[in-house]
Structure 1
Amino acid sequence: MSDIIQLLPDHVANQIAAGEVVQRPASVVKELLENAIDAGAKNIHLILKDAGKTLIQVIDDGTGMSETDARLCFERHATSKIKEAEDLFNLSTKGFRGEAMASIAAIAQIEMKTKQADAELGTCIQIEGSKITNQEIIPSPVGTNTAVKNLFFNIPARRNFLKSDAVETRHIIDEFQRVALVHADVHFVLNHNNSEIFNLPSGNLKQRVVNIFGGKTNERLIPIDEDTDVLKLSGFIMKPEFAKKKRGEQFFFVNDRFIKSPYLHHAINAAFDGLTERGTHPGYFLYLKVPTNTIDINIHPTKTEVKFDNEKVLYEILRAAVKHSLGQYNIMPALDFTKDKNLETPYSYKDKPISAPKIEVDPNFNPFKTESNFNPFQEKETKTTKSYASPSKSFSSKKNEGSWETLYNGLESIANTPVIENELNPQLFETKETKLVKDTFQIQNKYILCNLNTGTYLVHQHLAHQRVLYENFLANITVKEASSQQLLFPISINYSKQELHILKNIKEELESTGFMFEDMSKDHVIVSGIPTTISESQISMVFEQLIEDFQEDIQENSFSQLDMIAKSLAKTLAIKTGTKLTDVEQEVLIQDLFACKEANISPFRKKIYTTVTSKKLDVIFNTD
């Protein structure tokens, strides 16, 4: 039998390695930014075109490279960070494997210009698919200018797996923020399609957080600072009342490297236990400094997962430090049994002189006197009296009634007078006269058991309302002309630059649904008009859900941006599980559901109802 094992060609091996390092354009951005940081750059400019698919360019003012190093950096396992195996456990830099540039060069076209400070001229290298096509000496500023063009040009299958430009841009912004949050002393600029998204001047950590996530973040931050033998902890946590349902502002950095650690995240949640609503996640920006020999960062290709030697100790320190900061800044409720607040002097009376209270006595007062000049009903009837007493039986007494018992004359007529109230019975659905549903019964405020002419059905009320709203919104957007209501006072809502970038991308679609905007710049959105189907109090909730859906790639399952918006609005405004519905609301919901084009499937492809037949019941009870 002949030998079947053979060595792979270099270009194939490089493409396989590239599959581990370069998953999407954001992976290239991460590697290039980290190389610039390791080179000591103080100004880094990131330029993107078509979400990095066409161009990813990083310009820095770091140390640069010599002509030999510039060529050698594209070879596999060529690095200046480590020299022996022991160095892997004492790493203080970002990149160290020497695979990043070689992997990028295997699946893209690269042009790199670099120059050292003591060199008169720089070097320009052009590479296409791991092959150097050109190398020349050129005049160049100090630093490195790397342009990665046409990512996955030689692997069309990999390029087809990339998401939309909006999704890929969001991943790039995530990587950009993670690097920028660690290095607040570096000036970062991000441009996408000739539009500036971020311009982060150098400063302190708090300024960097505020510049990225908006001015609203400044008042929400609580500083944290703990120094122990095994851990030095610094950074900020967000106040509990600003916890969000989505995980977007949770950042762990270990030795200036972003990591993901569900175990340490659980420690933060444990510290906030009882202070945040269920299902919400507090925000934090925490920086951990640990000895380099106590962690292993070489367990994952992206280096976002690390292994600690003493995880349990770090967990307890982290939880205690967060609790301490919450208590130190009076965020956590406290009980002090040594003070009685009822005995404390009010602040407004602190400087006033103390005087004895005056006592006045009426010497002519006789509580047993049968006739009294005082008549509480001598005055005119108040509005309250007129509302409850009939005109023919007013209980206003004459002056100087002979007995105190006459004071209660007329009260009987008040007790028998019916109270007129304006009963408000808000309906979730418009009532319809035509009754197509025979009987309905709500189960656990979640399901509706209904009896129709065609049989008995068990309906999920939340999914059913999603389908009804989705088709209504889609019809209003695409077929009918969207109706809008003008707000008397425009509403201003603050967002981070990343969230604002998402809203700008779908501004035209939002306007077609009925939203009207006065301004959408800097870190806020001013809304002047909303669709008639949305209340003013729901604006912020609708936008937050839209942003979250956009970030979670839900639009990839939609036909268009309008379809995605209709789905998001339906999910946000649909009645929630646990909502008690009246009989009329149940009937109208079932009636509207079966009037839809696709009544059996929700907008997110979930089953809405099931048919309850005698055969199914026989199977449940094991009867014939």
Structure 2
Amino acid sequence: MTDIIHLLPDAVANQIAAGEVVQRPASAVKELLENSIDAGADKIQLVVKDAGKALIQIIDNGCGMSVTDARMCFERHATSKVKKAEDLFAIRTMGFRGEAMASIAAIAQVEMKTRRHEDEIGTCISIEGAQVTNQEPVATSPGTQISIKNLFFNTPARRNFLKSNPVEMRHILDEFQRVALAHPGVFFSLHHDGVEIFNLPKGNLKQRIVHLFGNNYNERLVPVEEETTIINLKGYIGKPAFAKKTRGEQFFFVNNRFIKDPYLNHAVSSAFEELLPDDSYPLYVLFIEIDPSKIDVNVHPTKTEIKYLDEKSIYAIMKSAVKRSIGRYNIAPTLDFDQETGFSNMITQKAVEDIVPPSINFNPDFNPFVSDKSSVSGYASSPRNYDAKPSAKNWGSLYDITEQPVVEQTSIYEDETVLETKQKQYMQLHNRYIVSQIKSGLMVIDQQMAHERILYERFLVHLDDRKGASQQSLFPQTITLNANDFELAKSLLDDIKSLGFDVREFGKNTLVVEGVPVDLGSSNINETQLFEQLIEGFKNSQQELKLSKRDSLARSLAKNSAIKAGTSLGQEEMNTLIDELFACKTPNFSVSGKPVIQTITLAELDKKFEKS
């Protein structure tokens, strides 16, 4: 029997390694940006076409490479950052494995131009599928320029698994934002299909956050700073009032490397306890500086997970620092002690000049034992003269009060009446539930979840028919989104219009909303807040629930525009809500799958009262 184990060819081995390192265009963007940072660049330009599928180009002014280094960087495990195993625990650079360039070159057409600052001529190398096709001297600027074309051109199965351009572009934006946040002292720019998405000048961290996410973030940020013998912590947290429904604006950096850490995330979230609803997440951009020997970054292919030597202490420090910042900057809800909170603030008093001195009117003919018909109680009472001696024929008149029909009291005011209707009468319980009597007992309906179900099914019809009606706003509202959300909104614009929004692009990362769906009613609507909640809810449904675009949009708008618990409803409103609920295809369950209707039978009530 012949031997069957053999070494893989380098080209095959590189393609296999590329599956771990380069999973999508955003992975290549991350590796190239980090290489530019490690090269000491303070100006980095990123150009992508077709969401990175056709072209990813990085241009930096870093240290550049010699001819030998330029050729060597495409070899597997070729690196300038690690020489011995001990170096792994003293790493402060972004890259160190020497896998990225070899992996990218194995699955794409790559061209690199590079020149050191002290050299007059640079080097140009072209590689296709791990094979060098050209190498020659070239006149180029100091630094490095790398162009990656036709990613996964030789692995069509991998290319077929790529998502749509908007989805892939959002992943690129995520990676770009993480690197840009970690290095506010570096100029970054991003162009997609000839359109400038970002132009980020050098500055401090707060300026970088504002440039990335929008000018309105300037007032939302609260600084965090803590120095200990274990870690140094600095950064910003968002005020609780501006928390969102998704975790898209939460960033941890350890030694300037972006990481994902649920344990540390819990430390920050617990510092906000009782300040946020359960389904809201605060913004934070936090940097941890720690001795590299106390962590291990070599535990995940993407280097986004880290092991710590003293995890519990770091947790306690972070929670304490965030809590201290919340208290120091008074962003927790507080009482306003500058305002007098006496009864004068609660009761509207008449002006002093309107006060009339009390007067006493005396009526000598008044008899307290004789009363007229009461207009307040609704009961009719007969006048009786207690001074006269009752005769036998008058004894019956003493019982007139109980023999006359009782008139139902409708109001304590004479000019108010109750409209009688043949519709079923409902009762609202604590402005949260609608209660009605049924044959078997009681029916209790959650008003918020019922309205969500009604709107959800209605919005699905609009998305299918493309005929959502719009009510025009008196004053159109402009909405400025961060680049990621703006790209998402653009990709959803046709569907959003189908729901009934009258919205269009209005400049860089800006939309103008001129109308909202008629289904939302005529009450005052904050178009900006509603639209932001629509985008946030859509992202949440896509990321966590993996719903279709159609379902995610309808679900998000329904949940954010439905009447809330605590809203008082009139009888007619309750009648309409119940009628529309039972006209739904699935009236018994909310869009989240929770029950909308509960019944309490007479038998259950009898059992509560211990009746046999």
Superposition TM-score tier, normalisation by shorter sequence? 0.7 to 0.9
Instruction: Tell me which of 466, 470, 486 is aligned to 1:484.
Output: 470
Taking a change above 3 Å as real, the CA distance of residues 335 and 579 of structure 1, as seen in their structure-2 partners, is closer
Provide the identity percentage: 53
**Residues 340-359 of structure 1 aligned to structure 2 (within 5 Å):** none
Unpaired runs of at least 5, structure 1: 344-373, 378-396, 425-430, 613-624
Name the SS for the 1:330 alignment partner.
Answer: coil
Cα distance change, pair 146–335 in 1 and its aligned pair in 2 (3 A): same
Change beyond 3 A, Cα 1:480–1:312? closer
Once the two structures are superposed, what CA deviation does each residue of 1:205-247 show, in whole Å capped at 9, x if it has no partner? Answer: 1110111111111111111222111111111111222222211
For the 8 Å contact 1:519–1:527, the answer to whether it is kept is no
Q: Which residue of 2 aligns with 1:534?
A: 520
CA–CA separation in structure 2 for the residues paired with 1:165 and 1:27: 15
* Contact 1:46-1:59 at 8 Å conserved across structures: yes
| Aligned ranges 1:125-136 → 2 under 5 Å | 125-136=125-136
Which amino acid in the other structure matches residue 459 of structure 2? F
Shift of 1:549: 5.0
Q: Is the 8 A contact 2:466 2:498 kept in 1?
A: no
Secondary structure of 1:326's counterpart equals: helix
TM-score (norm 2): 0.76
**1:417-440 deviation per Cα after TM superposition (whole angstroms, max 9, x unaligned):** 63556999xxxxxx998x9xxx9x
Q: CA deviation at 1:77?
A: 0.1
* Cα RMSD (Å): 4.5
- Structure 2: which amino acid aligns with 1:472? R
Output the CA distance in 1 between the equivalents of 2:115 and 2:314: 43
Q: For 1:565 and 1:270, locate their aligned partners in 2 and report how far apart those are by CA, in whole Å.
A: 30
Compute the displacement of 1:279 (Å): 2.6
Shift of 1:16: 1.1
Q: In structure 2, what is the Cα distance between the partners aligned to 1:87 and 1:511?
A: 56
Partner of 2:502: 516
2:248 is matched with which residue? 248
**Is this contact kept in 1: 2:267–2:316, CA < 8 A?**
yes
Q: Which residue of 1 aligns with 2:413?
A: 418
Counterpart of 1:475 in structure 2 is 461
1:568 aligned to 550, 556, 574, which one?
A: 556
**Alignment-derived partner of residue 297 in structure 1:** 297
Q: 1:578 to 1:74 in 2, by over 3 A?
A: farther
- Residue 599 (structure 1) shift: 8.1
Equivalent residue number for residue 605 of structure 2: none
Q: Which moved more, 1:591-600 or 1:50-59?
A: 591-600
Structure-to-structure mapping, 1:439-450, within 5 angstroms: none
Shift of 1:2: 3.6
> After the TM superposition, which residues 270-285 of structure 1 pair with which residues of structure 2 at under 5 Å, given as runs?
270-285=270-285
CA distance 1:315–1:470, shift in 2 (3 Å): closer
| Matched residue SS, 1:166 | helix
**Offset of 1:447 from its aligned partner?**
12
Shift of 1:548: 2.9
| 2:17 match: secondary structure | helix
The one-letter amino acid paired with 1:520 is F
Q: Does the 8 A contact of 2:49 with 2:192 survive in 1?
A: yes
- Judge which range, 213-222 or 496-505, deviates more: 496-505
What is the CA–CA distance in structure 2 between the aligned matches of 1:138 and 1:432, rounded to whole Å?
89
Whole-Å separation in 2 of the counterparts to 1:450 and 1:148: 69
Work out whether residues 30 and 175 of structure 1, in 8 Å CA contact, stay in contact via their aligned partners in 2.
yes
The 1:237–1:570 alpha-carbon spacing in structure 2 relative to 1, beyond 3 Å, is closer
Residue 487 (structure 2) aligns with: 501
- Report how far residue 332 of structure 1 moved: 4.4
Tell me the SS of whatever aligns to 1:521: coil
Cα shift at 1:513: 3.2
Note closer, same or farther for the CA distance 1:585–1:119 as it changes in structure 2 (3 Å cut). same
Does residue 554 of the first structure (1) align with residue 549 of the second (2)? no
Distance 1:405-1:544 versus aligned 2 partners, 3 A rule: farther
* In the alignment, structure 1 residue 211 sits paired with structure 2 residue 197: no
Name which of structure 1's ranges 264-273 and 188-197 shifts more when overlaid on structure 2.
264-273
Q: 1:471–1:596: 8 Å Cα contact kept in structure 2?
A: yes
Mapped to 2, the partners of 1:458 and 1:418 lie a distance apart of 32
**C-alpha displacement at 1:551, in angstroms?**
3.5
Q: Supply the AA of the counterpart residue of 1:240.
A: P
d(CA) in 2 for partners of 1:301, 1:122: 32
The count of residues paired between Structure 1 and Structure 2 equals 543
* 1-structure distance, mates of 2:533, 2:340: 46
CA distance in 1, matches of 2:329, 2:213: 22
Deviations 1:566-602 (A, max 9, x none): 4433444457799999999899778757766788998
- The DSSP-based 3-state class of the residue aligned with 1:568 is helix
The residue correspondences of 1:194-343 to structure 2 (distance < 5 A) are 194-332=194-332
User: Residues 270 and 466 (structure 1 numbering): CA distance in 2 closer, same or farther, change over 3 Å?
Assistant: closer
Task: Describe the shift of the 1:102–1:550 C-alpha distance in structure 2 as closer, same or farther (beyond 3 A).
Answer: farther
Stretches of structure 2 lacking an aligned partner (at least 5 in a row): 342-354, 378-411, 600-612
Q: In structure 1, what is the Cα distance between the partners aligned to 2:48 and 2:365?
A: 90
Q: Deviations over 1:514-545 (max 9, x none)?
A: 32247633455432211111254364454234
Q: 1:257 deviation in Å?
A: 0.6
Task: Determine helix, strand or coil for the equivalent of 2:519.
Answer: coil
Partner of 1:83: 83
